Amino acid sequence: MTTAGLRRGLLRGRRPLPRRYVPVLVTTGLLIAMFAAGGVRYENFATGQIVLNVFVDNAYLLVVAIGMTFVILTGGIDLSVGSVIALSTMVSATLISDGWAPLPVIGLVLLMGALLGLGMGAIIQYFEIQPFIVTLAGMFLARGLCYVINTESVKITDPLIVALGETHVPLGPELWVSPSVIIALVVLLAAIYVLQYTRFGRGVYAVGGSEQSALLMGLPVARTKMAVYTISGFCSALGGVLFAFYTLSGWSLHALGTELDAIAAVVIGGTLLTGGYGYLFGTVLGVLVLGLIQTILNFEGTLSAWWTKIVIGLLLFAFILLQRLIGARGGQAPPTPS
C-alpha cells in the first residue's frame, strides 16, 4: 500500500468527536482556565480546599440543578425552584421553632416540594399549558406562602440542624466538606443511575428529543413529564433543607433568583434548552463554574457582586450561541444517556 493510501485509510478510521460533547468539553476547558488564572493571580487560590469550598457553598444549588436537568431534558422549564427553596426554609424554621422534631419536619418539607412539583406537572400535561406559565404561577404561590408564614427571618437553633450546618467532614490534611456536600453527591449518583440505567431515564431523553415520536413508540409521556416536575420539586425542597443547614435560618427572601442560577448551570453544562440530550456531569461543571466566578470575585475584593450576574449572563449568551451553531451544523443529536 502506498503512503497516500495508508493515510486515507487512517483518516477513514478516525472517528470525529460527536458534536454533543463539545459544550461539555468547552465548559471543562473554561473551568480549568479559570482555576489556573486564579492560581496565577491570587495567593493561596490554587488549593484543594478552594475547590471543596465551592462545593460547600453550592451544595444546595447542585441539588436544585440536578432536578432542573431532568426538566430541561424533556424540553420543559421550572421557574419555581428558588421560591420552593425559600418556602422550605420558612416551613422548616417555623415548625422547628414551634417544637417539632427536625426529622419529621424535613420529611414533611420534602413531601411538600414533591407534591407541588407533581401538581405543576399535571397541570402542564393535562391542561396543555406552557411550563413557563405554570411554574411562574408556582413561583409566585410558593413565595407568597413564605410571606404568609412570616415576614421576618426565623433563626434555627435546634442542636441537630446546627450540627449538620457546622460539622466538617475531614477528607485529608486541611481538607474538609460539609454534610450537605455528601448529601448532594448521593443525590447526584442516584440521578446518574436513574438517567443512565433505567427505562424512565431513557424515556426522559426520548420525550425531550421528540414527544410525538415518544408517543408513537408507546412510551408513557404523560407519566414521564409529571415525574420530572415531581423530581424537580423534591430536589428544590431538599435544596431548601440544605440551604437551611447553610444559613441556619428561614427567610422569605432566601434564594431570590436561584431558578436562573440553576438554569444557567444546566445550560453552561451543555444540556440543550429544547431538550433531548445533556449530561449531569456537565451540570456539575456548570455549578462549579458559577461558584468559581463568585470565588474569584471574592478574592479580587474590589468588584461588585453584580459582576457575578454580568459574567453569568455573558456565559449564557456564549453557550446558547454554541448550542445553536452545533445544532445548525450537525442537527440535533439523538437522545443520549447522561
pLDDT at 10: 41
Mean pLDDT of the chain: 90
Kindly state the average pLDDT of the residues 235-247. 98
Write the DSSP symbol of residue 305. Answer: T
- Residue 21: which pLDDT band, with cuts at 50, 70 and 90? confident
Cα end-to-end distance, the chain, whole Å: 42
CATH class of the domain at 21-327: mainly alpha
pLDDT of 271 above 50:
yes
Least confident interval from 22-26, 58-62, 141-145, 172-176 = 22-26
d(CA 199, CA 201): 5
Kindly state the average pLDDT of the residues 89-109. 97
258-268 vs 306-330: helix crossing angle, rounded to 10:
40
Q: 3-class SS at 77?
A: coil
Per residue in 125-136, pLDDT tens? 999 999 999 999
Residue 330's alpha-carbon distances to 19, 133, 206, 334, in angstroms, are 7, 32, 19, 11
pLDDT at 256: 94
179-197 vs 221-247: helix crossing angle, rounded to 10:
170
- Residue 207: which pLDDT band, with cuts at 50, 70 and 90? very high
Unique residue bearing C-alpha cell 453557550: 319
pLDDT at 4: 53
Run of H or E residues at 212 = helix 211-216
| Residue boundaries of the structural domains of the chain | 21-327
d(CA 97, CA 104): 13
Q: What whole-number percentage of the chain has pLDDT above 70?
A: 91
